[in-house]
Amino acid sequence: MKDLSFGQYYPAVSFVHKLDARVKLLAVIAYIVAVFMVKQFHFLGFLACFLFLVVATAFSRVPFLRVLKSIKAILFFIVFSAVLQLFFNTLGTPILTLGVIVITDIGLLNALFLILRISLIVLGASVLTLTTSPVEIADAIESLMYPLKWIKFPVHEFALVVSIALRFIPTLLDETDRIIKAQKARGADFESGNLFKRAKALIPVLIPLLISSFRRADELADAMDSRCYSGSKIRTKYKKMRVGWRDLIATLFLAGLIVGVVFLNKFYLLLTVVL
């Protein structure tokens, strides 16, 4: 669990770390939109998104393997979704028959397309959390959602909840790892048996983890109350966010990605013939 990188901040001095948190948050949203804009089976669009992700990771000075480890958190979901596409898609030409299950070329392409789309989205979100601290993310959300205050939406409280959730991800992972090691020392077996037996074996882990989570939440509430925390009333910012030249360059690169994806969608067949 310590290998999971999603939600963990990687401190460094880099071009991406110095970007305004609001720009990074909007950039990730635009990047996800670009990934969804890639038409079905137009894999050159995914290649453009992947190259953009590699460049962003290089400028962030975060080890690329650290970013790739974020896939571990959703590996089961990716495999399960791909299997559904592979085994239950009846369109296309059959290429392999396993009893009543027929694997077609369209099903195989759909499975590959789904794996690439989900993986690219998760990797992009991981770059955001690795290069932006939870406090910066909360401030960016609060700033971007500021117009909602006009309709009495609790913007500051919502941003605070997001910040606390991101901050406690590494803590809960360490706590889970500690509980699993303690249960293994007492003879617990989490690896043998079928799926239901292994799920049942996790109950001694979930109960202490749940109790620990409530205890930490109670301690955090007492700490905030003892410091006279009063929500968004009369609060100032120690660090004020400002958009600079780096943010302009990042925006131009992202605009280039979206234009490139649109271009590839329109001229995909022509490019595949030329290549």
pLDDT higher at 103 or 130? 130
Summarize pLDDT for 152-166 with one digit per residue, the tens.
888 888 888 887 887
Query: How many whole angstroms from its chain centre is CA 202?
Result: 25
Of 100 and 122, more confident: 122
Could you write out the DSSP letters of every residue in 161-228?
HHHHHHHHHHHHHHHHHHHHHHHHHTT--SSSS-HHHHHHHTHHHHHHHHHHHHHHHHHHHHHHHHTT
Q: What is the mean pLDDT of the chain?
A: 81
Q: Has this prediction a pTM greater than 0.85?
A: no
Choose the weakest-confidence range: 33-37, 126-130, 135-139. Answer: 135-139
Q: Where are the alpha helices (DSSP H) in the chain?
A: 21-37, 43-60, 64-68, 75-87, 105-131, 134-144, 155-185, 195-201, 203-226, 245-266, 268-274
Cα separation, 230 vs 76, in Å, equals: 41
Confidence of residue 52 (pLDDT cuts 50, 70, 90): very high
Is pLDDT of 113 > 80?
Answer: yes
